[in-house]
Structure 1
Amino acid sequence: MGNKQFKLTKLALALGVTVSLAGCFSDNDNNVDIQPPPEPTQKVATPPTDQVVEKQAGSFSIVVTDSQGQPLSDDVSATISFTSDNAASVLSTAGAALTDEDRAATGGSFAFTVGAIPETGLSFDFVVTAEGFLSNSGTVEISTTETDVADQIRLTARTLEQAEDAAPIIAATSTLEDLAGEGVTTSYSADGGLAIEGADSITLTQDLDAEKNKNKAAGGVAVTLENGTVFRDADNNVLESVPTLTVAYFANEATRSESEQDGVAAQDSSLDAFPGGLALTVAEDPNNADDTAREGSFTTGGFVAIELVDENGTKVDNFGDGAIKVAMKVDKKTINTCPMTYEGDDLSAEAVAAVAEAEGTGLFANGVCTQAADTRQVQVNDIFPVWSYDEDAGKWSFESYGVVKADADENAATHDVAVSVNHLSYWNLDFFTYIIDAEKCDDRRLSFDIVDANDQPSQVYADVLVEANSYRLLIGAYNRSDLTKGTFRNPPSFEVKLKMMKDGVNILDNAVTGDNVTVGGASDGEATAVTFTNLCDLNNGTLKLTTAPASNIVKPLTPQFVCNNNDTADVPATPVSTPTIAQLFRGGRFVKTFYPSGQFDVTLEGGDDAAYTVRYKNPNNNTWFTQAIEANTTAATLDIPVPCAITDQPVTGTGGN
Structure 2
Amino acid sequence: MFANKKSLLALSVASALTLTGCFSDDDNNVVVEPPVTPTDPVVVAPTAPAELGLVVNANVVDAVTTNVVNAKISFLENGLEATNIVDANGNQLKVVDAANGNVVFTKKADSEITEVTLSVTADGYIGKSFIVDLTAAEGVSSIAAQLALTLANGPGVKTVVETVGAVGGSTSTEVKAESTGKTGAGASIPAGTQLLDAAGNAISGELSLNVSGADSSSSAAAAIVPAGLNAADAASTAKSAGVANIIMADANGNKVKSFGDSEITVTMAIPADTMQNGAAIQTGDTLKLKSHNEDTGVWADETNVVTIGALDADSNTFTGTFQTNHLTFFTSTVDITPCTSDISLNVSGDAVPAGGLYVQFASSDASANSFIAAGSTATTLISAEKAKRFGISAEAKASVSIVDVNGTEWFNSNGEVDVCGAVTATLVNPVAQPVSENFTVTATCSDGTTVDMSNAVVTYGLAGKAQSVAASAGNGTFALANMVPATTATYTVAVDARIPLDNGTTMATGPITVTPDGTAESLPLTADCGDLTGAN
Q: Same fold (TM over 0.5)?
A: yes
State the Cα deviation string for residues 600-636 of structure 1 (Å, max 9, x = none): 3243167798646355352465867334444443223
> What is the match of residue 164 of structure 2?
176
How many angstroms does 1:328 deviate by?
A: 1.8
- Among 589, 597, 600, the residue aligned to 2:465: 589
**1:495 Cα shift?**
2.8
2:244 corresponds to which residue? 304
1:554 matched residue in structure 2: 436
Summarize the Cα distance change of 1:546–1:554 in structure 2 as closer, same or farther, 3 Å threshold.
closer
Partner Cα distance (1:556, 1:137) in 2:
36
Distance 1:578 1:339, change over 3 A: same
- Provide the secondary structure at the position in 1 that maps to 2:92: coil
2:254 alignment partner, SS class: coil
**Maintained 8 Å contact 1:134/1:156:** yes
Long gaps (5+) in structure 1? 1-43, 178-186, 209-217, 258-268, 284-291, 341-372, 510-526, 564-568, 650-657
Considering fraction of residues, name the structure with more strand. 2
Partner of 1:171, secondary structure, is: strand
Aligned partner of 1:316 in structure 2 is 256
Does structure 1 conserve the Cα–Cα contact (< 8 Å) formed by 2:308 and 2:319?
yes
Does residue 529 of structure 2 align to residue 625 of structure 1? no
In structure 1, distance between residues paired with 2:216 and 2:105: 34
Question: Over residues 147-201 of structure 1, what are the superposed CA-to-partner deviations in whole Å (9 max), with x where a residue is unaligned?
Answer: 32232334567xx5x3xxx433343544313xxxxxxxxx6444xx3222xxxx2
Shift of 1:431: 3.3
Q: How does 1:396-475 map to 2 (within 5 A)?
A: 396-399=299-302, 400-407=304-311, 410-431=313-334, 433=336, 435=338, 438=340, 441=341, 445-452=342-349, 457-459=351-353, 462-475=357-370
Corresponding residue number in structure 1 for 2:88:
93
TM-score after normalising by structure 1: 0.60
- Under a length normalisation based on structure 2, what TM-score does the superposition of the two structures give? 0.72
Structure 2 equivalent of residue 181 of structure 1 = none
CA distance in 2, matches of 1:125, 1:605: 31
Pairwise CA distance, 1:427 = 1.5
Q: CA deviation at 1:138?
A: 1.6
Instruction: Give the C-alpha shift of residue 93 in structure 1.
Output: 0.8
- For 1:108 and 1:470, how far apart are their aligned partners in 2? 28
Return the offset for 1:590.
2.3
CA-atom RMSD in angstroms: 4.3
Does residue 499 in structure 1 map to residue 400 in structure 2? yes
Paired AA for residue 585 in structure 1:
G
| 2:187 counterpart (223, 238, 263) | 223
1:584: how far off?
4.4
- 1:411-453 alpha-carbon deviations (Å, 9 max, x no partner): 34432111112111112233354636x2xx3xxx34333111x
- Which string of whole-angstrom CA distances, capped at 9 and with x for unpartnered residues, describes residues 587-608 of structure 1? 7432743464632324316779
Q: For residue 297 of structure 2, what is the aligned residue in structure 1?
A: 394
What corresponds to 1:244 in structure 2? 207
Q: Distance in 2 between matches of 1:495 and 1:225?
A: 37
1:125 to 109, 117, 131: 117
Q: For residues 424 and 401 of structure 2, what CA distance do their matches in structure 1 show?
A: 12
- Code of the residue aligned with 1:494 in structure 2: it is E
* Preserved contact between residue 212 and residue 246 of structure 2 (Cα < 8 Å): no
- SS at 2:305 equivalent: strand
**Partner in structure 1 of residue 60 of structure 2:** 64
The code of the aligned residue for 1:411 comes to D
Structure 2 residue 141 is matched with structure 1 residue 141 = no
SS in structure 1 opposite 2:276? coil
Paired residues of 2:156 and 2:183 also in contact (CA < 8 A): no
The unaligned stretches of length 5 or more in structure 2 are 1-40
Letter matched to residue 633 of structure 1: G
Do residues 487 (structure 1) and 380 (structure 2) align? yes
Identity %: 16
Cα offset, 1:91, TM superposition: 2.5
Separation (CA, whole Å) in 2 of partners of 1:245 and 1:108: 26
Q: How many residues align?
A: 469
For 2:100, give the aligned amino acid.
Answer: G
Q: Which structure has the greater CA radius of gyration?
A: 1
- Identify if the C-alpha distance between structure 1 residues 499 and 156 changes in structure 2 by more than 3 Å, giving closer, same or farther: closer
Are 1:294 and 1:434, in contact at CA under 8 Å, matched by a contact in 2? Answer: no
Structure 2: how far apart are the matches of 1:45 and 1:221? 70
Structure 2: which amino acid aligns with 1:556? Answer: N
Contact preservation (8 Å) 2:458, 2:494: yes
1:282 corresponds, among 217, 228, 231, to 231
Offset at residue 226 of structure 1 (A): 0.5
Q: Distance in 1 between matches of 2:75 and 2:365?
A: 29
1:230 CA drift (Å): 0.8
SS in 1 for 2:518: coil
Q: Matches of residues 6-405 of structure 1 in structure 2 within 5 Å? A: 49-50=45-46, 52-65=48-61, 69-73=66-70, 78-84=72-78, 87-94=82-89, 96-98=90-92, 103-116=96-109, 122-129=114-121, 135-143=127-135, 145=137, 146-154=140-148, 162=153, 166-177=154-165, 188-190=167-169, 193-196=170-173, 201-206=174-179, 218-239=182-203, 241-252=204-215, 254-255=217-218, 271-276=222-227, 280-282=229-231, 292-293=233-234, 298-301=239-242, 303-310=243-250, 313-332=253-272, 336=274, 338-340=275-277, 379-399=282-302, 400-405=304-309
Amino acid in the other structure paired with 1:61: N
Letter in 2 for 1:325: T
Alignment of 1:533-548 (within 5 A): 535-536=420-421, 538=422, 542-545=424-427
> 1:295, 1:488 → 2: CA distance?
23
Letter in 2 for 1:228: G
> Which secondary structure state, in structure 1, belongs to the residue aligned with residue 196 of structure 2?
coil
Write the mapping of 1:520-531 to structure 2, written as runs, cut at 5 A.
528-529=414-415, 531=417
SS at match of 1:151: strand
